[in-house]
Each structure stands twice: as C-alpha cells, then as structure tokens.
Amino acid sequence: EYKLLNLLEFNSTRKRMSVIVQDEDGNIFLLCKGADSVIFDRLGKNGKDYQEATHTHLANYGEAGLRTLALAYKSITETEYSEWNAMFLRAKTTINVDRESLLENASDLIEKDLILVGATAVEDKLQKGVPECIDKLAQAGLKIWVLTGDKTETAINIGFACSLLRQGMKQICLSLKSLEECSNQDKSAKAAKESISLQITNAYQTISLETNPDSAYALIIDGKALAYALEADLKDQFLKLAINCASVICCRVSPKQKALVTRLVKEGTLKTTLAIGDGANDVGMIQEADIGIGISGVEGMQAVMASDFSIAQFRFLERLLVVHGHWCYKRISQMICYFFYKNIAFGLTIFYFEAYTSFSGQSIYDDWYMLLFNVILTSLPVISLGVFEQDVSSEVCLQ
C-alpha cells in the first residue's frame, strides 16, 4: 500500500499532475503524468533510457487518433522531501496574490530529473455526424480552424477523420523540433523566433507562387511555435499565412493561446467569429469570439455556462447555423425593413395631408390612433414576420 503525501494538481498551464507517495518501507516517490512534450523536458540524464522508444510509440498512437500521456517518476530522500514539503506548505497556506506563482515554483522544484516510465493511449471517438457537419459548413463558406490540446499526430488524424484534411491537401507544418536540443535559453528563444519567422515567410511564398488553382494547403502549428507566431511583430504575418490556407490546425495549445488566436482572427480580419467547445479549456476562446457555443456532456458545464448558445452534440451546429441562422437573419432584416416601411408610410400620409390643407395644422388621424399606431395597430404583423417567417424550408437550407 502507498500513503498519499502531496497532490500537485493539473492545470492547463502546467499540462501535468503529480502525486508524492510513500510505500510501506518508507521510500518516497513522485509519480508524474502529463503531455509528452512537458514530461520529456523534465527528464534527468539517467531517465531517458526509453525516450526514443516511447516517442515512437506516442507517434504511432497519435497517428491512430488516440489521446496520449507520458508517465515518469523519481525517488526522493526524506531530507529532500522535508525541505521541499515545508516550502510547499508555506506556498499552499499563503493568502498573498502571488500564491499561484509560489505553488508553481514549488512544483517546478520537485518535478525535475524524472525517470521516464512509458506512455498511455486512450481512444476518444468523434461524435456521430461530425465529419458530415464540418463538410456542410465548409460548403456553406465557413472557414474552420481547429484549436486543440492534443499532440500533432493525433490532431492530424482527427483532421482527416472529420474531413477537415483531405488526401492530396498539402500540409505546412510550423514547429521547433530542430531547436529542441539547444541548452542556452536566450539563444534558443532568439533562434526559435527567427526560425518561425523564416518558416512563415517561406510558407507564404510557396502559396503565393502556386499556379494550380485547385491546390489546397493546410497549416499545422504546435503550441511552442504558436507562442512565437502570436508575438506582436509576427502575428500579422502568421494571420496572413493562415487565412490563405484552406484549413488550420493548432496543436498542443493552452486555453490562453486559444483565446489569443480567436482575438487575432476577429481583430485582424474584421469577420464574425464563432467558437465552439465542450470543456473548461475552451471558456476563454468561447468568450473571446463574437458567438460562443458550448456543448454539454462529460466535460462538464463550464463551456455551456460561458456560451451564448448550448447544444447537446456537435452535429447540431449544422442546423443551428445553416437553418436557424439563415431564418433569423432573414427575419431580423425583413422586420427592420417592415418597421421603416410602416413608419415612413404613416409619416408621409401626414405630410401630404398637411400640404393638401395648406399646412393648416389639422391632423388626418385621431390622437388615439397616432398613439396606438406602433404599439397595437401595426405591431402584430411585424412581430409575426420576425417570429415565424421562413423564406425557404429547412430541407432546402440543409441541401
């Protein structure tokens, strides 16, 4: 049996969680699980024996569309644990505004020099009707971006499964894989930014020089590369590249990055943006978009509570946009025109009557009629038009 000593909770910034346990012999261990990119960065020199094999397994799992986690551990001496636990308890019991940063620093201090154990893979099937829904929305002229916390291979597999990516579509991948071994952080950050800038420039030139009008490009970028692409001097270039691609997939992104990408598209293109999600990680993105839609389900109700509309399954988005969106647009526009029409007709009648009576000041309408004209006498037709008007049937909209 094991005794639980501490719990270092998961959050979207850490992308990992850990527990510190003690066995019956008094040995203390830290057990950690999280995103492979995070776990691999925290491995010690003696903990990388299975890294290459695990990386291969993770890639295979991702290509199969499975959601993956990496597992690692380390042994802790009693002296080391006692010193760290005192610091962790001080951070946990503080009431200052920097409590979260103190907890993060304490967690970083203990979650290092880990030994890789392996990886897990869990199947997460697409909901019924998702590929058909995305295909219909694309036919309707919507530009669809996927912002996900999954690893790149998993996101690409899901992209093919939901018809966002197609066979023959040329993929542009922005990443920092070639720079991951650099040890100097300042040089690494500068080199990473230059690399992303160069990749964006080259990719945009490739699209600009494309002579085949039927060629389609898909942009795929991971969270580390996206962090540099969203910086002030690169974000406009990144957006210019992204809007020229048929599909965009952002992998291993944090909730903050989801919101920043949504804001970039909204402010950079001045188009109406819609965000849809089902978990707490999607709340920032949903609130940042012009229209937020939450999917109720096993992920909880945070996304639903933060959204403008709530649906039970993703496939219902098709009817919400294509049918009800079309009807509501027509109803509102025609209702406003109806209001202008009846009030202009009402006002012109009075004007022409005054001209006919040599502007004597006599009114053509009774005072009560003028008072009730908009409130009662002409309100029902306008309200009926705004509520019940259907210029075409739902079947026609869905074709």
Which residues make up each annotated binding site for Mg(2+)? 278, 282
Distance CA 318, CA 308 (A): 16
Cα–Cα distance, 113 to 43 (Å, whole number): 5
Q: Is 324 helix (H, G, I), strand (E, B) or coil?
A: helix
Neighbours of 199 (CB within 10 A): 20
Binding-site entries for ATP: 10, 33, 67, 148-150, 252, 258, 281-282
From the CB of residue 75, how many other CB atoms can be counted at a distance below 10 Å? 10
Residues 6+ apart with CB under 8 A from 305: 294
Q: Are 282 and 253 in contact (CB under 8 A)?
A: no
Instruction: For residue 176, give the nearest of 155, 152, 158 by alpha carbon.
Output: 152
Which residues make up each annotated binding site?
A: 10, 33, 67, 148-150, 252, 258, 278, 281-282
Q: Which two tokens stand for residue 232?
A: 């002030």
- What single DSSP character describes residue 230? T
Q: In what order do the strands lie in the sheet with 16-22?
A: 3-8, 16-22, 28-34, 66-76, 115-123
* Count of other CB atoms within 10 angstroms of residue 120: 14
The torsion defined by the Cα of 149, 154, 155 and 156, in degrees rounded to 10, comes to: 160
Query: Which residues, in sequence order, are CB contacts of 346 under 8 Å at separation 6+?
Result: 373
